[in-house]
Amino acid sequence: MTAHITVRTPIDGSVLGSVPATPLADYAAICERSQRAFLAWRDIPAPRRGELIRLFGEVLRERREELGTFVTKESGKILREGIGEVQEMIDICDFAVGLSRQLYGLTIASERPGHRMMEQWHPLGPVLVVSAFNFPAAVWAWNFALAIVCGDPVVWKPSDLAPFTALECQRLFMEACKRFGPVPDGLSQVVLSGREAVVPLARAPEMRLVSATGGSALGYAVKQAIAGDLGKRCLLELGGNNAMIVCPTADLDLALRAILFSAVGTAGQRCTSLRRLFVHADVWERLMPRLIEAYCTVPVGDPLDPATLVGPLRTAQAAAAFEAAIGRAVADGGTLLVGGGREMPHLAEARYVRPAIMQMPRHTDGMREETFAPLLYAMRFTSFEEALALQNGVPQGLSSCVFTNDVREAERFMAASGSDCGIANVNIGPSGAEIGGAFGGEKDTGGGRESGSDAWRNYMRRATNTVNWSRDLPLAQGITFT
Ligand code: UN1
């Protein structure tokens, strides 16, 4: 077990700092503290719980740039995106505040005279949140803001590549707590560790929900860890292999901008990043040269420099995976249209690359895997149905989009037999979702939904209540029992 976590910034590889890892021996006490906090917090009225999140949103508004800079230094995303990530946290806080007065259950018509049925949503229990380096703050906030208004304490295991962002989030939350008044000890706790903490924490009996974001290996580990506990829930947000279909009627100016943002933005390190591009043969020649030109000129460099659009890869392993995927695609008959080389070579300890496009002759096995880097596979198609089948022909099912001005194609794409992803967009790229929608995907992406819509229900338990106000005891289904 690592005693210390040393963080190097991907910007130039220099050491940002070192933090002590949370000892394994402390986990039991952390989980017990979370459970004690739950017993107190569940009885606080939800709108009052919402007030704490309102105050947290207020603190985040005051510290937007500061926290955004932490995000950039640890994740390597450009500062505009780092600040955008804090805005995403503010947005989910606002959403959660409103929600704190809208945790509605249904009233249901009873088949029995003098009876009333209804449902109530109650707090669930402590929630374990496991987050990744690429959204070191916002993805935790999606879970955290909802969990707190729903009445659940949170134990957070952030990525060991981004512990300082996590500690800063925790510090800002404590600031909100000070403004709020007394809160139960242990409402929000952070466990600093590598991946090895996930299984023991997930297995802790106090944790009622495990919400995990990362690759499929993490998903398997979580599912296996909790398989023996039938009452435990998990919410998985795993890898994506997101595609765009560009149809003959597409607005190519829009498509170009959407491709660039979603394929090279965040240096291809979003779970929603565009990885596969299917372009109709009729528009290939009008789109691809412009896209290649944009790839040649997109500014790669220091993410703190306002002119930069593509920062570094987070790790040397990511750069190696990028190179290996390109090599494999070439071996499979692909053609490298642009990119692939190293940038900023004077920074020996950092990994900057020129985003790459590989033109592929067919849908290869390599294309079925998620490479967490700015590598875009491009293929021509002639039939929309063929493109749709290719898009769906991968193990992952997170995000997808079509560019078309043909209403039939757009509706076909969103229909039951269309895109099989959790997110299916029209004339907008696959990444950069707003918090208001439920976020997540199907198949190997894990099936979980976080953030907006009714994702809050994950953090609560439903009680169905039948109340008999009559002087009789009629049985359901008309059964007589005398
Ligand atoms: C992730 O990469 O884990 O839709 C989350 C998006 C962001 C969230 C990405 N709002 O791209």
**Whole-angstrom Cα distance, residue 217 to residue 293?**
36
140 lines ligand 1 (CB under 6 A): no
Compute, in angstroms, the gap from residue 252 CA to the centroid of ligand 1.
Answer: 24
Contact 439, 429 (CB under 8 A): no
Cα end-to-end distance, the chain, whole Å: 65
Q: Which secondary-structure segment (H or E) carries 46?
A: helix 46-62
Q: What one-letter code names the amino acid at 322?
A: F
82 secondary structure, DSSP code:
H
User: Which pLDDT score, from 0 to 100, does residue 108 have?
Assistant: 97
State if residue 72 touches ligand 1 by the CB under 6 angstroms criterion.
no
Mutate to test the pocket of ligand 1, among 95, 244, 431, 450 (most ligand atoms within 8 A of CB): 431
Ligand 1 and 431: CB distance under 6 A: yes
- Cα–Cα distances (Å) from 364 to 320, 326, 330, 383, 420, in that order, read 20, 12, 11, 19, 19
Q: Is 133 in the pocket of ligand 1 (CB under 6 A)?
A: no
Retrieve residue 260's tokens: 């660039």
Q: Is 425 in the pocket of ligand 1 (CB under 6 A)?
A: no
Q: Are strands 396-397 and 274-280 parallel, antiparallel or unpaired?
A: unpaired
| Assigned token pair, 158 | 């952030």
pLDDT at 135: 98
Output the pLDDT for position 444.
Answer: 97
Ligand 1 atom closest to 269 (CA): 2
CA 435 – ligand 1 centroid, Å: 9
If you take atom 6 of ligand 1, which residue's CA is the nearest one? 432
Cα distance between residue 333 and residue 324, in whole Å: 14
Q: What's the rounded Cα separation, in Å, for the pair 290 and 252?
A: 10
From its phi and psi, is residue 379 left (phi > 0), alpha (psi between -120 and 50) or beta?
beta
> Tens digits of per-residue pLDDT, 164-201?
999 999 999 999 999 999 999 999 999 999 999 999 99
| Residues catalogued as catalytic | 237, 271
Residue of 237, 192, 234 whose CA lies nearest to 210: 234
Task: Please identify, by atom number, the ligand 1 atom nearest to the C-alpha of residue 240.
Answer: 2
Q: Is the CB of 159 under 6 A from ligand 1?
A: no
Residue of 86, 131, 271, 396 to test ligand 1 pocket, by largest number of atoms within 8 Å of CB: 271
Give the number of the atom of ligand 1 that is nearest the alpha carbon of residue 132: 3
- Asked if residue 213 has its Cβ within 6 Å of ligand 1, the reply is yes
Rounded distance between C-alpha atoms, residue 222 and residue 207, angstroms:
12
Query: Does the C-beta of 139 come closer than 6 Å to ligand 1?
Result: yes
Which residue's CA lies nearest to atom 7 of ligand 1? 432
d(CA 269, CA 319): 11
Q: Confirm or reject: Cβ of 75 under 6 Å from ligand 1.
A: no
Q: How far is the CA of 273 from the centre of ligand 1 (A)?
A: 8
Q: What is the helix (H) or strand (E) element at residue 402, kind and residue range?
A: strand 399-403
Q: Which helix (H) or strand (E) holds 227?
A: none
134 lines ligand 1 (CB under 6 A): yes
Q: Is any atom of ligand 1 closer than 6 Å to the C-beta of 441?
A: no
Nearest atom within ligand 1 for CA of residue 270: 2
How many angstroms separate the alpha carbon of residue 81 from the centre of ligand 1? 11
The residue contributing the CA closest to ligand 1 atom 1 is 271
Distance between Cα 391 and ligand 1 center (Å)? 20
> Which ligand 1 atom is at minimum distance from the Cα of 237?
3
Q: Which two tokens stand for residue 328?
A: 């494999």
Q: Which atom of ligand 1 is nearest to the CA of 272?
A: 11
For the chain, 482 residues long, give each residue's pLDDT as a single digit of tens. Answer: 569 999 999 999 999 999 999 999 999 999 999 999 999 999 999 999 999 999 999 999 999 999 999 999 999 999 999 999 999 999 999 999 999 999 999 999 999 999 999 999 999 999 999 999 999 999 999 999 999 999 999 999 999 999 999 999 999 999 999 999 999 999 999 999 999 999 999 999 999 999 999 999 999 999 999 999 999 999 999 999 999 999 999 999 999 999 999 999 999 999 999 999 999 999 999 999 999 999 999 999 999 999 999 999 999 999 999 999 999 999 999 999 999 999 999 999 999 999 999 999 999 999 999 999 999 999 999 999 999 999 999 999 999 999 999 999 999 999 999 999 999 999 999 999 999 999 999 999 999 999 999 999 999 999 999 999 999 999 999 999 99
CB 363 within 8 A of CB 243: no
What spacing in Å lies between the alpha carbon of 138 and ligand 1's midpoint? Answer: 8
Q: Are 240 and 408 in contact (CB under 8 A)?
A: no
